[in-house]
Structure 1
Amino acid sequence: MTLLAITGLPGTGKSSLAEGMGKRTGVPVFAGDWLLGALKPHGVLDGLSRPAFLALYYDLLGTLIRRQLMFGQSAIVDCLLDDEIADRWARTAARFGSRLFVVECVCTDETEHRRRLERRQRAIPGWHEVGWDHVDRMRAEYPPLTGEHLTVDAMDPFEDNLGLINTYIGGGFEPTNQ
């Protein structure tokens, strides 16, 4: 079983790649924004400090990861990630005989990155679209990853990036236990 975390700034293609890997493999994709979108209408996020918000975000994703791994099943996670959370999830994966693979998505052409962000319509119920100011804030809040990871560029063809990810994780996901 494999734990794959796909991270990167908004608009760099992480959700598209996570969904593409999920569709090809049948492995469930857990997306942080979808979890938050489900909580937002219920007021759960109202008034939370930034540290409390982030703790909730990563604990929800961590719980879903643990549950998959407990059952001997692989998982894909679509979220912003830093080294501390990656280390925590790597330890969780190791406890279940799995390994964490981290893929960082970037877009090396800022003009194209802005264009993609401005045109995207994710339509996550309860959640919002973000602007370039949010990208700048996330860039400041999330330093570059220093741990082992693969970097893919949104300027490269989508299929090529999926192939790079598949190679990085060793040829694909193992079949899940029935």
Structure 2
Amino acid sequence: MILAIVIGVAAALEDGGGKKDGANKSAAATASAEPSATSAPTATGSAAAEVITPQNNPEFAALLTTDSCDNANQDFATKYRGRTVAFDGSIVHMAPHGDYDTRYDFLLGPGDKGPNTGIGPAFKYEDVNTLDLKLTGRNIPATVRAGDRFRLVAEVGEFNAKQCIFFLDPVSTEIQ
């Protein structure tokens, strides 16, 4: 059977596409559709390469390891607003958002110390439910709580200098 397929493909290639019937037209349409399908992963791949991490961005690495609320925070938020960051972090605190029972405000910190986090800026996911966290990884829990550790991937929002809080929008949250 494999031999028959190889012979069929070779015969089609030998023909050189000289026939102008409907079969060749649909084959050409399929072939022209394939490059756009393959170009989408390439675009996604390049977007993934642009994720800001402490390993590829010294500014971000410095923010995650200091406890000051200076202009570097505002500068980073302004420069990278709308860009994606990824870092290992934990839930420092979570509280219901307003009067909601299933929507929360999450205060997040770099590292794995949860409520005992003492370095880095405070990051906040505001008005999200646990489905918005887009949990991935092994053993996804039914609930999350303060102290849980994650690989956080999020979009940079604004920085509130009065509260010294970075607002982020979750992209994905990998269980650690």
Fold shared per TM-score above 0.5 = no
Structure (1 or 2) with the greater helix fraction: 1
TM-score normalised by the chain length of structure 2: 0.23
Higher relative contact order (CA 8 A, sep 6+): 1
